[in-house]
């Protein structure tokens, strides 16, 4: 008896943005481990190659480029083969008190966390690169609903992409293309390693989590793999928190 594994990504081609580090890198690796063919993008060619070296299987490719640049977005969309899945993971963090926010902060954070993703998605659709019954995943944040001091611009950018996803899922539903967002709490990425918090402060903060730890990039990656797989065929328009129990 042949068993069909609905969680497998065999035969699927997945584009992962922001794949040169952190959550995006882990998503790309996990997709390859589950049999998917992965197209990765990022600004740093050297780090992008490091991700390529860790992918399982063959047939993968890397396309470097800055998603805030219109020509780069068009080139990436043009070079990308037909896709069964897209993971929009490129993004940056930002910390500044509301009274200190400058117009340049808004332009930078929204430009990367919102504008670039929306406009890349447009390019992919205009180039007809997303297959029927495909899956699109945006990496948002628990910051959308959990207010943190000095996190306003970042939270707003993630709230914007979540609202955008709500509309996109309705527009793509006729082609059975699913759109979901993932909302992690604190995950061990460069955003934490480069933060101003000391070791003791981080330990104290982790005590607020029922599971007593921050997430690892792999924790988020495995959820994304599920959303890309046929096992989640009846899921669209969902905003899924993955938080270690933190509320």
What is the spatial distance between Cα 115 and Cα 128, in angstroms, rounded to a whole number? 20
Which residues are bridge partners to 85 per DSSP? 14, 135
Confidence at residue 105, expressed as pLDDT on a 0 to 100 scale: 98
* 244 found inside a domain: no
Where residue 21 sits, what CATH number does that domain have? Answer: 3.40.50.720
pLDDT tens digits for range 134-158: 999 999 999 999 999 999 999 999 9
Residue 194 has pLDDT above 80, yes or no: no
Active site residue ranges: 154
Mean pLDDT score across all residues of the chain: 95
* 24 found inside a domain: yes
Count how many Cα atoms sit within 13 Å of the Cα of residue 171 in the half-sphere of its side chain: 9
Confidence at residue 247, expressed as pLDDT on a 0 to 100 scale: 87
* 32 found inside a domain: yes
* 204 found inside a domain: no
Whole-prediction pTM: 0.96
* 7 found inside a domain: no
User: How many domains does the chain fold into?
Assistant: 1
pLDDT tens digits for range 90-103: 999 999 999 999 99
Work out the angle at residue 201's Cα, subtended by the Cα atoms of residues 216 and 95, and round it to the nearest 5 degrees.
Answer: 75
pLDDT tens digits for range 177-189: 999 999 999 999 8
* 196 found inside a domain: no
Place of tokens 């080139």: 75
Domain span at residue 150?
A: 13-190+217-234
Query: Hey, is 229 helix, strand or coil?
Result: coil
What is the spatial distance between Cα 76 and Cα 38, in angstroms, rounded to a whole number? 14
* 241 found inside a domain: no
Q: CB neighbours (10 Å) of residue 78?
A: 11
């Amino acid at each position: 008896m042949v068993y069909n594994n609905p969680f497998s990504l065999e035969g699927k081609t997945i584009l992962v943005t922001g794949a040169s580090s952190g959550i995006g890198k882990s998503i790309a690796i996990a997709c390859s481990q589950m049999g998917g063919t992965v197209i990765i993008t990022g600004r740093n060619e050297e780090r992008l190659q490091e991700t390529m070296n860790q992918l399982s299987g063959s047939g993968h490719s890397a396309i470097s480029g800055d998603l805030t640049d219109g020509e780069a977005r068009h080139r990436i969309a043009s070079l990308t083969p037909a896709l069964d899945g897209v993971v929009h993971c490129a993004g940056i963090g930002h910390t500044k008190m509301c009274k200190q926010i400058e117009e340049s902060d808004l332009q930078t954070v929204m430009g990367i966390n919102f504008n670039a993703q929306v406009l890349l998605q447009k390019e992919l659709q205009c180039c007809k690169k997303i297959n029927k019954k495909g899956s699109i995943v945006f990496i948002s944040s628990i910051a959308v609903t959990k207010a943190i001091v000095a996190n306003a611009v970042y939270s707003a950018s993630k709230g914007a992409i979540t609202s955008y996803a709500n509309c996109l899922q309705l527009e793509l539903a006729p082609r059975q293309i699913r759109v979901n967002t993932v909302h992690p709490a604190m995950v061990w990425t460069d955003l934490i390693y480069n933060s101003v918090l000391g070791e003791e402060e981080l330990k104290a903060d982790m005590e607020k989590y029922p599971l007593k730890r921050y997430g690892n990039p792999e924790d988020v990656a495995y959820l994304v793999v599920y959303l890309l797989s046929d096992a989640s065929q009846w899921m669209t328009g969902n905003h899924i928190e993955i938080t270690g129990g933190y509320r």
